[in-house]
Amino acid sequence: MRQNELEALRSQVTELNDKILDLINERTAVVQEIGKVKEKQGVNRYDPIREREMLNSLKEKNNGPLPNGVLEQIFKGIFMSALEIQEDEQRNALLV
Amino acid sequence: MRQNELEALRSQVTELNDKILDLINERTAVVQEIGKVKEKQGVNRYDPIREREMLNSLKEKNNGPLPNGVLEQIFKGIFMSALEIQEDEQRNALLV
């Protein structure tokens, strides 16, 4: 009985993992678009003020159970990775 | 024109941030449930094999543009934070 309960909960986690991955990929694609627009404008891609605004907005909307400190850690990771991908592309573009 | 394009893309990012946050909160709640079941069973909550399986499954399903290395970083952060929250709860329960 307990084992089935555990299995059901784990299936839920797997499903949520997949949905989170889909959304992070979608987000990465949009950030890549933003990078292209900024490049054409000759604007610096890294925007710490916008990053801080996004974090504040997320913390305001957060209803838990995720604590805001952990929220900040996770999203900083997501923001940074989007930036790293952009930089890699830029570096690759320079090598071509 | 470009500025409007940038604004539209940024709205998309904000919307995606919010959806990702909702799903991470949902995931955290399910992981808390799993923690309770495991506690009743007297089983250790941290399960590195299950964590590795989840990461492998995500990497297999990943269609990008997120590279698998970055995927792993982000999800390790999500997994670890769920664990930290559980440990905090356990610690608080011991203090009561």
Span B3-60, pLDDT tens digits = 799 999 999 999 999 999 999 999 999 999 999 898 888 888 788 999 999 999 999 9
Span A10-47, pLDDT tens digits = 999 999 999 999 999 999 999 999 998 988 888 887 88
Chain A residues inside the 8 Å CB shell of B33: 9
d(CA B41, CA B39): 5
Total number of domains constituting chain A: 1
pTM of the model: 0.89
| Contact yes or no for B34 and A13 at CB 8 A | yes
Give me chain A's average pLDDT, please: 89
| Contact yes or no for B34 and A10 at CB 8 A | yes
Are A37 and A50 spatial neighbours (Cβ–Cβ below 8 Å)?
no
Tell me which chain B residue has its CA closest to the CA of residue A78: B74
For residues B61-80, give the mean pLDDT. 92
| Contact yes or no for B14 and A61 at CB 8 A | no
Best B1, B5, B26, B36 residue to mutate vs chain A (most A CBs within 10 Å): B26
| Contact yes or no for A74 and B63 at CB 8 A | no
Give the amino acid at B75.
Answer: F
**Which has more pLDDT, A77 or B88?**
A77
Chain A residues inside the 8 Å CB shell of B20: 20, 23-24, 27, 78
| Contact yes or no for A25 and B65 at CB 8 A | yes
At B96, is the pLDDT very low, low, confident or very high (cuts 50, 70, 90)? Answer: low
Q: How close A59 comes to chain B (CA, Å)?
A: 10
- Look up residue B63 and give its two tokens: 């269609």
pLDDT at residue B39, as a whole number: 86
pLDDT at residue A21, as a whole number: 98
Tell me which chain A residue has its CA closest to the CA of residue B32: A65
| Contact yes or no for A64 and B25 at CB 8 A | yes
SS3 content of chain B, % helix, strand, coil (to 5): 85, 0, 15
Chain A residues inside the 8 Å CB shell of B23: 16, 19-20, 23
pLDDT at residue A96, as a whole number: 64
Give me chain B's average pLDDT, please: 89
- Output the domain CATH number for residue B53: 1.20.59.10
pLDDT at residue B44, as a whole number: 80
Domain span including residue B22: 2-95
pLDDT at residue A1, as a whole number: 53
d(CA A39, CA A35): 6
Are B44 and B38 spatial neighbours (Cβ–Cβ below 8 Å)?
yes
Span A80-92, pLDDT tens digits = 877 777 777 767 7
